[in-house]
Structure formats: C-alpha cells, structure tokens
Structure 1
C-alpha cells in the first residue's frame, strides 16, 4: 500500500464496535472517525471530533493497515464531516477494490458527487432543531436520487428529530423533496424527543420511514467514544 503513504487523514478515532444506526444496525463494524466538522449541530453526539486541529494525523496506508485486522467486516467512515478531507476518496476507493462494504456518513452540507458509486452514503438531513438547516447542500437529495437510479442501493437518508416541529418539517420534506428509492430513517434526538413519541407520530401519519434508535447508546449508555 505504499501508494497511499503520502496521503494523510486527520483521524479522531478508530474503533471496532456494533453498528448502531442505518439499515446495517446490529452488524459488527470497523469505524473510521475523521476529525473536523463545518457544522455545529445543537444535539451533536461527537463534539470531540469537531475542531480541525484535534485528533491525529495518519496516512491512508496506516488506516488501511489498521482495517486489515478486521477482514471482511463492514467499514463506516464518519466524522466530523469526512468529505472535508480529500484523501477520504482514495481510502474509500481502495476499500471497494478490496471488496469491502463501505458506509459514509455525511452531514449533508458537502457535495456528494465525488463519492464512489459502491459506497453507501448515509445523508443526514439537518432538521430545524439542529440549527444547521440553512447549511444544507439541498442538491444532494437530487444527487442521491440519481445515484439510486444508476444502481447505488446502499444509500439512505437520515433525519434526526428533536421535536414535533422537526417531525412535521421532515414529513413535508419526505413528501415533496426526497427522491424515491433510498430508505428514509427517522431517529429521535434524546432527550429532546422520546422514541415512543416519535413512533406514535410515524404510525399516526403512516409515514414510509424506518424508526432508528442508536443501538450503541442502549448497549453502552455510559460511553461516548469508541462505540
């Protein structure tokens, strides 16, 4: 992997855990959390990965070497905002070449066009309670729809719901803007929104969405890193 030795990434943490979100929830997963984020969501659960000067530098080759100890396992690249670091592209491309299943969690504010087709993009749509709705790159919804039409079956759209106002806002967006195809995930921002209440709203309005709970917070409620 010498070709990757000069390409570096700013890493917040590397860890092996149970995937707690997405339609892959419950699977063992090797996580690559990149450092640095351009948003400041009110309910952020990984605030330690926000600042660009945090974390530590690693070559793409070193990250691939770390991942090699978990052969065949699902890989998720998250942040922070991974798409702020250009060298995430060769990392994802090499993982796909190795035959790995790769997820990319992105905050929705950066153009997803360069993401390789085989990567499962989890696009986080920022609801009003996040305070970051106006930072969304709304063209990403159309881009996700185009990816789906040409065969990207791993892509998903996630809404973190912090209030009933968020729910009704997201409901309208699902009806008017979200492309057909990618699964839609509604996740409660606890303690702002209780899961049972969000479930009731989904049932009452018969939305074609999946209720998503953060499985890792149920398994390890006292840990905020490495899960």
Structure 2
C-alpha cells in the first residue's frame, strides 16, 4: 500500500537584524503568530561603521552553521544601511549557492535605510522632497538620543559641534512605530527633548512597522515540510 507524506510544521527561518529593530521585530512576530521565526540581532553600533555590517552578518551566519543551526531562509533586518551594496552582494553570493542546494536563501528589507522602510519608500520620498533639511528619528533613536546622538557625535564633550552638524537642518521628524499609549508618550517626550537640544521644531509621523512588517510576513509565509524532510 502506498503512503502519502503528510504536511508538518512550517520550516524554521531566521531573521538576523540590527539591534535597533528588536522591539519592532518581536512585535511583528508576536502579532502575526510567526512561531517558526527566530530573531537574532547584531549590535546596533555597527551603524557607526557600516562597512563592517556585511562581514558581521557573514560571521554570524557561519557561527550558526558551525553550531548546527542551519536555516533554509534568512531575512536580514537591514536596508542597505550605508553598506554601499555589500549586503546585496552577500545576498547574491548566498543565493547562488542556495540555487545549487548549498546553504540558505537570503534577502534583506528593501530600501536605503530604516527611515525609508518604516515610512515606505514613496512616503519617505515625499517627506524628503518637502523638506530635504530634515533630521529623522526612529523610536529607537529617540529613546537613545543622549547616547547615540549627543554623546555618539561628540557633542557632549564639544558643544560647538552641534552647530557644525545641525546648523543647516530645518526640522526633526520622529517616524514612530509605537502605538498610542504610555510608551508612545515616552518616545515622543524623548524626541521632543532631543529636538529642543538641537533648537529645531519637531514633527511626528506615525509609520507603524512599514516595509519591515511586509518583508517579514511575506518571507515567513509557511512553507510546509513533508514528514520525510523534518529534521530528527
């Protein structure tokens, strides 16, 4: 008597992302009940040296494989992020191997940076055209303004740098992912305090999770494994 392989749980996939996106990724995974998705983050400070991001991604994937934790699909929770195409080159390299049955398929979130994929490309282009001299904040940057902007750019020790960095800006725009509530109020207060330190008006634009959510939910659509494909 012949038997037909029955479908089982969806294959696991990995999101390997910037540490600045951990709250948003966990929220998307929880909201959409993506129980088969593992989220792992690299240090957010890599953005200070974007030429190192692709190498750090490659090293972490290699480490996962050495640990015996392999995935068929990996989503990079990065846009280009100043890597000058290095992340795209890495995806192309891995996907060529995947086509030959060697290693995971890898893709990244579309866009040049997180401001663009949170706002969506078309909306961010409209905002940039309306006022090119805009300093953008995400919720993460707003929460950590003191560390990442004030201290990170050296302004805390050299106040004269504030004018050098921000003298030509006309506004600060908070692209907020946080829904209404106490945490949203805290994020807005942080952004407002940061804008005041820079001597700039603040505008708040609610984006939600934008193309980050779209990319994750699309790639995480369950692909069912046959019983004979399930790892022991």
TM-score by length of 2: 0.30
TM-score by length of 1: 0.30
Q: Which has the higher helix share?
A: 2
